[in-house]
Amino acid sequence: MTLPRFPRVVRTLASAAAVGALMSACAMLPSQMAVPASASGPDLDALFVSRAAQTDVMEVTASRMALQRATRPEVRQYAQSMINDHTRTSSELQQIASQIGMPVDARPTAMDEKKMTALSAAQGEAFDKAYVKVVGVQAHTEAVTLFKQEASKGSNPALKSFATRTLPALQHHLQMAEQLEKTVN
């Protein structure tokens, strides 16, 4: 009898729809990490602090979800690395911002909230694929760009140094995510 499988089919279809909506939303909306080309100096520093803090929160939150929901051990391992590294960089950024008297708004953006809602609706392999795509590849592609901009155009020496020191780890996260994406697809 197929009735016991019906709820699983419904969950799978709902999961696939949520992932599709998440991917479509991410593809259509401009990057929230994008900083206007004209931004430099103190304006860039403030945008950098805000967006770096927001993305750390989103990545840690999504990665905690991945520890519970990912089906593949390599996705859970990646998620644990993201939690460890982004918790550390978030703490360091908070400390630097506090020392220079810059407020840190680490509340997730509306787009980050939409990503998290859609990600939470995904299940099984669909979750793994969505997590790796959105948190791994997309978020780290944007983060690399953001940190490069701060390292080259920022005005605060402490923030520029932080961006320069953190950039190799973000580039490594991106490479890991790109490899993982090949595995889950």
Is it true that domain 3-29+38-184 has CATH number 1.10.357.10? no
Domain boundaries, the chain: 3-29+38-184
Whether the full predicted model's pTM is greater than 0.95, yes or no, is no
Q: What is the pLDDT of residues 77-128, one digit of tens each?
A: 999 999 999 999 999 999 999 999 999 988 888 999 999 999 999 999 999 9
Longest dimension (CA), the chain: 67
Cα separation values, 88 from 42, 70, 105, Å: 24, 23, 17
Give the whole-angstrom CA distance, residue 38 versus residue 78.
35
Q: What is the pLDDT of residues 19-42, one digit of tens each?
A: 454 444 444 344 444 555 555 557
Return the SS3 of 49. helix
